[in-house]
Amino acid sequence: MRAFDTMNPAAVTVTLILAACITIFSLEPLLLGISLICAATYFLMRNGRRHAAFHIGAIGMPLLFALLNPLWNQHGTTVLFVINQRAVTQEALVYGGVTGLRLAAVLYWFRNFSDLMTSEKLFYLFRGFSPKLALVFTMAVRNLSLFRAQMRKIQTSQRALGLYREGHLIDDLRGGMRVFSILLTWALENGIITANSMSARGYGCGKRSSFTFYRWEKGDVALLLTALVLAAAVIAGILSGALTWQFYPQRIPPAMTLQYFGAIAAYAGLAMLPVIYEGKEMLTWHCLRQSI
Amino acid sequence: MLVIRSEKIRRVLRVALPFAIMPAMVLLLPRGLQAQHYALVTFLMTGFALLLFLAGFERRELGTRRMILVSVMTALSVLGRMLPVIKPITALTVLSALYLGPEAGFLTGALSAVLSNFIMGQGPWTPFQMLAWGMIGLFAGLLAKPLRRNRLLLYLYGMVSGFAYSMILDIWTTVWTYGEFTFRQYGAALVSSMPYPVVYALSNLIFLMLLAKPFGEKLARIGKKYGL
C-alpha cells in the first residue's frame, strides 16, 4: 500500500470525483456530515495547521446558509418566529443548513483534488484522452510561469526607464496596459518561434509516444475497483430512494432500513479511502522513526 | 460519426450534437425523473458534451502554430483573471477565436476556465464555465468575418457574451439550489445575480476596446515577420 498521492492519477481522480459527485447530488445530513469530516480530515493530514482562512470560510458555510435560507424560503409548517411579517420556519432553517453542509463538503473535496493533481498528473490524464489537448494544456501551464517571470522583467525595465510614478492611479493603469501590450507581443512571437522549432524537429509527423511516471500496478487496480464498487452501492441506495429526505412541508427522514445503513456505510468506506491510505503511510513513518 | 460520409453533415453534427441535441435532452429527460436527480443529469450531460466536442480535436488538423498560440492565449487569460473585478478572459477568448478559428476559440475559453480554477477554486461549476467560455469562443470564431470587419459589432458581441455567460451559469445555480429547473426559479436566479452580468459585459467591452486593434496589428506584424 502506497501513499494516496503516489497512486495512479486515474484511480485517485475516480475516487475523489465519485466521493465529491455523490456529495453534490445528495441531501442526506448524515452522508454529508461523513463526507465533510473525511474530506476535512484528509485536508488537515496533508496541510497541518495552514489555511486557517479556508477552514473558517468552509465551516461557516452551513451556518450562513441556515440563516439566509428562511429569508427567501417560506415553505414549512413549524413557525419559529416572525420578522417583518415573514415567517421563519424550522424546516427552511434545517434545509439551509443541509445545503450549506453540502457546499462545505464539496469545497473540501475539490480543494483536495486541486492540491493532489499536479500538472504532470493532469497531463497523464489528458494524454489518454487526447495527446494534442494534453500538449496544449501543459504548454499553457508552462507559459503561465514563463509569462509571470517575463512580466516582472518588463516591469523592472519600465521602472528603470522612469515610466512609472509610484502610487499614481492613472499612471499605474497606463503602465499596466503598456506592460501587458509588451508581454503580448513577446508572447506571440515566442510562441511562433517555439512552433517553428517544434516542426523543424519533426513534431506532428507520425505517431508519438510520451514519457510518464505512472503505471497501473496491482494496488492501483484494487483502489479503483474498491472505489467503483462502493460508489455503485451508494448510488443504488440513492436511486432506490432509501436516502431521500423530505424537507417541505414537514421534515420526514428516510426509514431506518438495512438499505439505508448499507448505503451510508458504503459511502463512509469510499470517503475514508484517502484518509486510510494517508493514515497507514503516517503510521509506517512513525514506526520507522521509532525503530531508529 | 465515422459512418457519415458527407463532410458537411459531419461538421453540422459536431456542433449540433453537444450544443443543441444534448441540452434539449437535458430539458426533456427529467420530466419522468424525480426532481432530486435533475442536477445529476444536467451535470453529466454538460461533462459529456464537453468531452464529445474536445475529442473532435484529436482528429482535426489544427496545425502546430495554432496549437501553440492557443496555449499562449490561455496562459495570458489565466494571468488576466487575477486582476481585481474586471477580467479580460472573455475578450482574449473572443480575439483568439477571431484570428485563429472557432476550434481554437473553444479550446482557449474552455482551457482558461479549468486552468484558472486551479487558482480561483475548482467546483461543480467548472464544466459550466468551460462550456460557457468555450461557446463564446466558438461562436466568435464562426462569426469571425463580420466581427473582424465591424468594430461596433465586435463590442456588441462582447457585451452580449457577458450576459450570456452569466445566463449559462445561472442554469447551474438554479438546478443546484432548487433541485429542479422551472423558468420562474431561473428568472429569480437571473435577477439575484444582477450586478455581475453588467460587470462582465462592461469589462468585456473595456478589454475589447483596449485590445482589439493592437492585437490584430501584433498578429499581422508577426505574420509579416515570420512569413505565415
Contact yes or no for B111 and A136 at CB 8 A: yes
More confident residue, B42 or A185: A185
CA A239 vs CA A22, A233, A280, B177, B206: distances in Å? 11, 10, 33, 20, 48
B225: chain A residues, CB-CB within 8 Å: 189
pLDDT (tens digit per residue) in B168-194: 888 877 777 666 667 777 777 788 777
C-alpha cell at B121: 477554486
Spell out the domain ranges in chain A. Answer: 4-118+242-291
Task: Please name which of A248, A252, A251 lies closest in space to residue A74, comparing C-alpha atoms.
Answer: A248
pLDDT (tens digit per residue) in A127-184: 777 778 888 888 898 899 999 999 999 988 988 887 766 677 777 777 888 888 899 8
ipTM at complex level? 0.79
State how far the Cα of B37 lies from the Cα of B42, in Å rounded to an integer: 9
The rounded mean pLDDT for chain A is 84
Contact yes or no for B214 and A194 at CB 8 A: no
B176: chain A residues, CB-CB within 8 Å: 24
CB B172 within 8 A of CB B38: no
Distance from CA of A285 to the nearest CA of B (A): 30
pLDDT at B122 over 50: yes
CB B87 within 8 A of CB B100: no
Rg of chain B on CA atoms, in Å = 18
Domains of chain B, first to last:
62-226 (1.10.1760.20)
pLDDT (tens digit per residue) in B62-99: 678 888 889 999 999 888 877 766 788 899 999 989 98
